[in-house]
Chain A
Amino acid sequence: MKPHNKADFIITILLSVLVAGLLFANANSYTDNSAPSNKNIATNGDTVYLNSMTIEQKVAQMLIVYGDPDKRDFYQQSNIGGLFLTALRTESDFNWTTNFMQRDAKIPFLISADIEGCVNAFQNFRPYPFFSEINSKNDAYAVGKAQGDLMAKLGIQINFSPVVDLKDTIWKCRSFTGGADEIAGKASSYISGLQSTGTIATAKHYPGRTLDVKDPHKMTTISEIKESDLYPFEASKNAGAKAVMVSHVIASGAVDSEGRPSVVSRSAISSLKKDFTGLVITDDINMLGLKNYYSKTGRDQMLIDLVLAGNDVILDALAGTDDINHFIKVISSAVRRGEIPEKHIDVSVTKILKAKGLKVA
């Protein structure tokens, strides 16, 4: 064999091995055997037996991910807790999507969307006044009720709204106007209106000061929280808000997140939970404010810290199937190692199942 013939032959072998390896990797990316199955979860009518669920199945309930209809079977098999829907063209598109997603689900998804005012997934067919345009508590109640009615009709159980930050210097329309008292009053009325329809309200973004213009060179925002920032959250809790969303702001002052983003701070979330037993939900975990904080320790530690800090629901609007499997694997392993108590997971999952209108035994 001539030398160049020999070289061509070696290249053929190497390329064949590479193609075989890539074929194998592609095949595995579609059939991840580590994905938990939704089988063997014991239910009886609307009662779910928590003891029948594996750690993986319980951990998966803590995730809300972007609701991609193409991945419905995967979400159902993985026992994912909830889905986040973004804008669609028409009411019937939303109806079709929620029906399609829920069909045959062993445990129904908690389906969520953002309808505030100027951030509105239904804007194409149902615009609402911006929060900055709402002038009275009565108007706030009416807007909340109208949004809740529509969401209930379309099969969406939780609205990531209202924003109760005192200031919005970026969008300039997501917060109610006025002083802390007025904002608290409008937020409470909005929550009462929304929840009168059975739709869950989410006061956000705890502990406040999240919608301020950030220093472009420092993605991690450090904010001095005052008592007045917390007042609308207290009012929201008193109004019966069933969920609160926690931000990535590093807080000092009236809430001290001890140098960490609030969403991974046990101290900050403990302050919130002192007089609140509803769902604690993370803001989207892909934002740079959080990611940059974990640039050295890595994403796995971030996921563990999110659970340990006391969040019940992790919102990951970017998660693909691999990310979902990875989250379940990382948290389940931490539970098996004893790093996260299983009781901690059980408390969160019980809250999530009850938010879906299910009974837990």
Chain B
Amino acid sequence: MATVRILNLVLAITALALFVNLIGANRFTGEMVYSLDKSEPRCIVSNGDEQSPLTDLNECCFMLQAQLACSPYGINSADFACSTSDLGLKYIANQKTISYCKSEGYRLKLK
């Protein structure tokens, strides 16, 4: 009896792993976090002292994907700053935005 239950557990874990693999691990975790996070997505273009919101989230994801890397940013490191060089523009996105981009399938280079 115990053998059948262990077999069922193994099968269930295998099914979950195959499902995650099928839709992509990044997308899966992105969708999970995005749906659980109740905050508003936020994306800011920072050009020196000037900051402007980028309200089209997919345009934001496109720009984040185009950067060399994204690192934790801010006091509690809840946000990410993505850039290609210290001399250029910086895109600041909160966790909700990062989760959204991952759920959409954008390839972010998170540190």
Contacts and interface: CB of A to CB of B under 8 A. Distances in A.
A68 B24 CA distance: 16
Interface in A80-119: 86-89, 114, 118-119
B87 A12 contact: no
Interface string B69-111: 0000000000000001101110000000000000011110000
B65 A66 contact: yes
Given A11-B8, A16-B11, A25-B22, A123 B84 contact: yes
A196 interface: no
A123 B106 contact: no
A41 interface: no
Among A11, A87, A213, A289, residue most surrounded by chain B Cβ atoms (within 10 Å): A87
B57 A288 contact: yes
A214 B43 CA distance: 13
B89 A173 contact: yes
Contacts of A124: 68, 84-85
B52 A87 contact: no
Interface size class of chain B, counting residues whose CB lies under 8 Å from the partner chain: 35 or more
Contacts, number: 117
Contacts of B8: 8, 11-12, 15
B88 A120 contact: yes
B66 interface: yes
A99 to B, nearest CB: 20
Given A12-B8, A89-B68, A173-B47, A5 B1 contact: yes
Given A22-B22, A26-B21, A123-B84, A318 B105 contact: yes
A361 interface: no
A11 to B, nearest CB: 5
Given A26-B18, A123-B87, A286 B104 contact: yes
A127 B87 CA distance: 8
A291 B76 CA distance: 34
Nearest to B56: A288
A120 B11 contact: no
A109 B25 CA distance: 29
Nearest to B46: A171
Given A123-B88, A171-B47, A29 B104 contact: no
B1 A86 contact: no
A19 interface: yes
A355 to B, nearest CB: 22
B56 A23 contact: no
Contact of B18 (A8, A23, A171, A219): A23
Contacts of A16: 11
Contacts of A291: 58
A86 B11 contact: no
Interface string B1-21: 100110110011011001101
A321 to B, nearest CB: 11
A337 B55 CA distance: 38
A214 B4 contact: no
Interface in B18-73: 18-19, 21-22, 45, 47, 50, 52-59, 61-63, 65-68
A18 B5 contact: no
A172 B56 contact: no
Given A8-B4, A119-B89, A287-B58, A22 B18 contact: yes
Contacts of A23: 18
A216 B66 CA distance: 23
Contacts of A119: 63, 66, 89
Given A88-B68, A213-B53, 4 more contacts: A15-B8, A127-B88, A286-B104, A288-B59
25 contacts: A8-B4, A9-B4, A11-B8, A12-B4, A15-B8, A15-B12, A16-B11, A18-B11, A26-B22, A86-B65, A87-B68, A119-B89, A123-B84, A124-B84, A124-B85, A169-B52, A170-B45, A173-B47, A213-B55, A216-B55, A286-B62, A287-B59, A288-B59, A317-B62, A318-B106
Nearest 4 CB-CB pairings of A with B: A15-B11, A22-B18, A123-B84, A123-B85
